[in-house]
Amino acid sequence: MQHPSAYVAEHGDKHALVMGTSGQTLTYRELEDASNRVAQLLRARGLRTGDRIAVLLVNGPPWYEVVWGALRAGLYVTPVNFGLTAAEAGYIVADCGAAALVADAGLAETVAGMGADLDGVGTRLAVGGDLSGFEPYAEAVAAMPAARIADEWE
């Protein structure tokens, strides 16, 4: 099996993702860069191999960036379905022991209703807008260096 970085060197400008409804694309090189920055961000926020992250995002490129970045950092990823109620989503986040939550700003009502289930979540990132008590995902990721870090799977 070819390591993702080797694949990027050979096929980096090919589309890794094409969103059917919007036509939005993400190349393998863009995914490599974004996931690398996400991994660095999560490590900078204190997450270590074996920690857990919950992902409450609608379908789109950030979902792939976050999940691939978390895996690069050696984290366990718990996807949370964006169609769940606040109580259901909150239960999953608390039950998985998430140290981090990345949530879509469009799901603000769901996130707000999660209440005390978020008490153990130290790192909170909002994608696509503002969420009270959450750091803007795009700004936090952009602040990370582009230099490639070693992946946990290497």
pLDDT tens sequence across 14-45: 888 788 888 888 888 898 999 999 999 999 99
What is the arithmetic mean of pLDDT over 89-108?
A: 98
* Integer Cα distance of 21 and 36 in angstroms: 27
Predicted local distance difference test score (pLDDT) of residue 1: 45
The tens digit of pLDDT for each residue in 54-70 reads 999 999 999 999 999 99
Strand partners, 26: 17
Query: Which is more confident, 150 or 82?
Result: 82
Inter-axis angle of helices 28-44 and 61-72, nearest 10: 60
Residue 10 corresponds to which amino acid? E
What is the arithmetic mean of pLDDT over 91-118?
A: 98
The DSSP symbol for 45 reads T
SS3 category, 19: coil
Give one word for 53, left, alpha or beta, with left for phi > 0 and alpha for psi -120 to 50: beta
pLDDT band, very low/low/confident/very high, at 2 (cuts 50, 70, 90): low
pTM (2 d.p.): 0.90
